[in-house]
Each structure stands twice: as structure tokens, then as C-alpha cells.
Amino acid sequence: GLYGDADWVAAPTKVVRQPLPELPPPPPPPPPRPFVEYFESTEPGGQPGSLNYSPEGRPELVQVSAEQAVAGGQRSLKITKVPGLKYTWQPHCYHASRPHTSGNVRFACDVLNSAAAPAEFSISLRDYSPGHGEFRDGAVVSFAGNGTVRAGDRTLTTVPAGAWVHVEIVFSLGSAGMAATAAGAYRLTLTVGDGAVQVFEAIPYANPAFRQVSWFGLCGADSPGGVYYVDNLRLEAVRP
């Protein structure tokens, strides 16, 4: 404490302090960095650290392979369905990041369904923000063993097994002034190895509450024995 005569002890109470200046709000977080995975830097049999896997500790189910690759590359990710898995959606691989919350976003990859043992699988983009349950699916595109492609609760087309198919999903988040697609919907473009391009506009989100994307994944959905390959994964912001 302060000791002495009364005027000295009372001196601190006479100090006039200016209020602290009001600080500006913190800047918004930077946008997520583009995600790109070509699988060329991982040896065959390995699993890239850029993805997460389920079940864990089963690299024979999801592994880099030199069996198939898009032109210009030497490797891709091979995904194999086997008996005895706990969940029907396994094997499963995914990537999670800070969310894209506004602007135009593009997801792209190349897929090849085995001609000898075609698989059933799906590509999903999800919103894991709080509320409305654990997650909300936006784009969901399913590939059947017979080549059928479905999205938005309808059959869109058929693609051949044994051929690479380039998949591109584009959608807009936030401001309608920047929209590259209709609100609450996405554009799906499929390009088969022979160059044939098919564009499907205004496919509605699987869940209308989808507002941002912080996750994409590939899930199995068929009986054991199916094999498919994935290459050139990308998730990034794009201009309209």
C-alpha cells in the first residue's frame, strides 16, 4: 500500500486516465489454401499424409498404385473393397480443412472404375459448421458398378469402366453477385477419356442447409470385390 500523509496517500485518486482506444475488429481469417494431390510423391503401397483414412491401419485398402494413372502421370490412388469391414461406406478417405465460406469453389478429380471389378462409390462435399446435425452434404455424386452416375436424386448419365473420367464440381457460396452457379445448387462437368464433355447445371445440394465446405471424401458403397482409382484431387477458390 501507499504510506504517508493524507494528501500523499490520496494522490493516486486524483490521476485522470484517458480511456483506452477502441480496437478495430480482427481481420477475417485468410481463405483456405488450395488443396492439390497428384499422388506422384508417394511410393506405391503408401498413403499420402494429405488424406485421412478409414479404417486406419489398412493401407492395402487405400494406397498409391502404379497400375493406373492419368496421362502425364505415373501413379494414382487405388481403393479396394474387401469383406469384413465394419461400415458399408468403408474404405473411405477424406480431407478436412478450414472452410470455404464465400465466393466460387471448384472440386475436381479423375476417377477410373475397374473394368474387371467395378466398384460403387461416391464423392461428397460437406459443411461441418455447428448446428443442423453433425454435417450437411452439398454436392454428392455417385458412381455405380454398371457405369451409372447419379446426383441430385436422379440418374444423369453412364460412363464406361476402364476409362478415366474427369469430374469437376463448381458452386457458389455467399454473395449472389459473385455467383457462378444458381443458389443452393452446383454444376457438374464430366469429361470421359475420349474427350466427350457432359455438363449438368443447377443440381440441388443434398441438404439445403449447406453453406460452406470444409471437407470432401470418397466413400465405398457396394459389396466386396470392387476396385476404383482416383487421381489429381483439387479443392480451390476460383473466379466466376
**Whole-number Å distance between alpha carbons of 67 and 61:** 15
CB atoms under 10 Å from CB of 40, counted, come to 15
pLDDT of residue 176: 55
Q: Which of 234, 235, 228 is nearest to 91 (CA)?
A: 228
pLDDT of residue 53: 98
- List CB contacts of 227: < 8 A, sequence separation 6 or more: 78, 79, 80, 81, 114, 116, 117, 118, 119
Q: What is the pLDDT of residues 50-96, one digit of tens each?
A: 999 999 999 999 999 999 999 999 999 999 999 999 999 999 999 99
Alpha-carbon distance values, 133 to 87, 96, 207 (Å): 20, 17, 11
**Whole-number Å distance between alpha carbons of 24 and 16:** 24
pTM: 0.86
Q: Is the dihedral of CA 185, 191, 192, 195 positive or negative?
A: positive
Q: What is the DSSP letter of 66?
A: S
Q: Give the HSE-up count for residue 179: Cα atoms under 13 Å, Cβ half-sphere.
A: 12
Place 40 in a pLDDT band, splitting at 50, 70 and 90: very high
Amino acid identity, position 39: F
